[in-house]
């Protein structure tokens, strides 16, 4: 069942998820405007994260943010 749940085709059928998927590139681009205040800022795409302990819980962040001056974080 996990491959079915994690596919963007399935997620895209939900109204809220459809909007979220459409906005992901814009969110990543808007965040990169902060590039000047960080050292080697990178924003990369991520997939669906599922809880190891509660596999019915998941999250789909807009991106993973890394730089030399801050701890990695999710967008």
Quote the CA–CA distance of 73 and 27 in Å, as a whole number. Answer: 14
Residue-by-residue DSSP string for 22-58: HHHHHHHHHHGGGGGGSSS-EEE----EE-SS-TT-E
- With a cut of 60, say whether residue 11 has pLDDT above it: no
Domain-wise residue ranges, the chain: 2-74
Quote the CA–CA distance of 23 and 27 in Å, as a whole number. Answer: 6
Quote the CA–CA distance of 56 and 60 in Å, as a whole number. Answer: 13
Distance of CA 62 to the CA centre of its chain: 3
- Per residue in 15-46, pLDDT tens? 877 888 888 888 878 877 877 788 888 888 88
- Is this model's pTM higher than 0.85 or not? no
């Amino acid at each position: 069942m996990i491959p079915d749940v994690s596919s963007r085709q399935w997620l895209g059928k939900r109204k809220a998820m459809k909007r979220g998927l459409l906005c992901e590139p814009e969110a990543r681009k808007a965040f990169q405007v902060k590039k000047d205040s960080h050292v080697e800022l990178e924003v990369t795409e991520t997939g669906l994260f599922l809880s190891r302990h509660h596999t019915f819980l998941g999250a789909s962040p807009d991106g993973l943010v890394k730089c030399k001056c801050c701890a990695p974080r999710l967008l």
